[in-house]
Structure 1
């Protein structure tokens, strides 16, 4: 994979980790063991703040997803078919199935590589985060 693609995937993992961490913080605060009203109000603000941060992280994930879909739909991923291989003589039906499977596998690998290159274009430099 391209280094930029790896960085973008790490960013996605980091966002998901932060969402889970904030959600865990909310669940930890929810226990109400006869706490004073002052503490409950502070915890309420903490929950609200964590919920807002979860929403922002979710919006970041949606933005990445939308960018990937736009690049796919608008054709910035240039999908090219594989050059046909010369057919071997006397291959029979078994070789046709094997060649078809190899062609499909090569096609999937090529599309995956192009997708990861496109993902890399949406990465923001670390200085902006």
Structure 2
């Protein structure tokens, strides 16, 4: 896969992970217990901040989908055959690395 699409996929993964973390933080903060009014106010601000972060990350995901749509319309998205070729090259590199690690010797043609 091309470097551009690999970076897009990593951005999607990072954003989704952050969204889930912020949502988890909101759920933890929203428990109602015997707390002072100041503590409730601080937690409300933290919840508001986390919610704003979730909105921003979701907007970034929407921008990514827009970029992918534009790339697809313009024919810039690699075809599945290209993905398979990239996967085959990656698999060959992994196999060579495993051979080097298992034998402990580097052949001159593998440098």
TM over 0.5: yes
More helix by share: 2
Over the aligned positions, Cα root-mean-square deviation in angstroms equals 1.9
Number of residue equivalences: 82
Which one has the largest radius of gyration?
1
Task: Please give the secondary structure, in 1, of the residue aligned with 2:41.
Answer: helix
Q: TM-score, normalised by structure 2?
A: 0.66
TM-aligned CA deviation for residue 4 of structure 1 = 2.8
**Which structure carries more relative contact order (alpha carbon 8 Å, separation 6+)?**
1
Structure 1: gaps of 5 or more residues: 80-107, 114-129
Closer, same or farther: CA 109–43 of 1 in aligned 2, 3 Å: same
Structure 1, 48-57 or 5-14: larger mean CA deviation:
5-14
Q: List structure 1 runs of 4+ shifted beyond 3 angstroms.
A: none
- Aligned partner of 2:96 in structure 1 is none
TM-aligned CA deviation for residue 70 of structure 1 = 2.3
- Aligned partner of 2:10 in structure 1 is 10
Structure 2: gaps of 5 or more residues: 84-111
